[in-house]
Amino acid sequence: MPTAPGGEPGGWQCLDPAQQVIGGTCVTAPEPDPDPAEEPDPVEQPPAIPPLTAYDVANFVPVPAPPTIEPFGVAIVRAPMNVAVAASSHTVGGDLFGLPMSVTFTPELLTIDYGDGTIVDVAQAAPTWEQLGQEQLSPTATSHTYAERGTASVTVDVSYSAVVDFGPWGVHPVGGYVVSQGSPVDVHIYEKQSYLVAHTCAENPSGPGC
């Protein structure tokens, strides 16, 4: 161990286990403490982000607006009714795998169930007759003609493609489509009948067809 015998100046001396002076060769200068300013910043390792599937972002999928049934929420036998759906791109923020992110959904496919056994897939938007610049009761890509009167439940499911933006960790596509299931909307189907009468309904409100 190092010691200064007698407290006199002259430097440190070293003692062996028998407390005999063996000189000052055992003493070394202490290493200076490193300057914190000169220490390199630790390199942040990128998180492990696995391939993304529709299941990973299913909780963030936007709920589609209920379909608009034209004309006026009803249908007429043997005449086209139109189904319009307002589906658009939508971005939602949140956390995934413990990381902040935002996920953007883009509508790619509409699956329309007309409630009479007819189901179609439409790879485009579903606008109204007014948006299309068409007359009412004219056929569209999402129109349908019922064969008999009654009530049908129309549902529209929207299939979205999705990408997830993890900020500094990059943008990651989601495999497959994320499907948002719509709620059914009841459509009353009426039968249009024509009558040859002598007077209008205004002239004879109790006449046939009035």
> Mean per-residue pLDDT for 88-110?
94
In the predicted model, what is the mean pLDDT of residues 106-117? 95
Q: Which DSSP state fits 89? A: -
Tell which residue, 110, 107, 102, 106, has the closest CA to residue 60. 102
Residue 35: is its pLDDT beyond 80?
no
pLDDT at 36: 63
Question: Any residues with CB less than 8 A from the CB of 196 and at least 6 apart, and which?
Answer: none
Q: What is the mean pLDDT of residues 162-174?
A: 95
Alpha carbon of 199 to those of 121, 191, 192, 193, 203: distances in Å? 47, 22, 19, 16, 6
Round the average pLDDT of the chain to a whole number and report it. 85
Q: Is the pLDDT of residue 163 over 80?
A: yes
Which among 195, 199, 82 has a CA at the least distance from the CA of 145? Answer: 82
Between CA 55 and CA 78 the distance in angstroms is 41
Percent pLDDT > 70 in the chain is 80
Bigger pLDDT: 164 vs 209: 164
How far is it, in rounded angstroms, from Cα 108 to Cα 122? 9
Helices (H) and strands (E) in the chain, counts: 2, 15
What residues form DSSP beta bridges with 154?
185
Q: Is 47 exposed, middle or buried (0-12, 13-18, 19+ CB in 10 A)?
A: exposed
Between the alpha carbon of residue 172 and those of residues 59, 165, 167, the distances in Å are 17, 6, 10
Q: What pLDDT shows up at residue 53? A: 94
For residues 98-113, give the mean pLDDT.
95
Residues in the chain, total: 210
- List, for residues 37-89, the tens digit of each pLDDT value: 666 666 667 788 999 999 999 999 887 778 999 999 999 999 999 999 988 89
pLDDT in tens, 128-137: 999 999 999 9
| pLDDT at residue 196 tops 90 | no
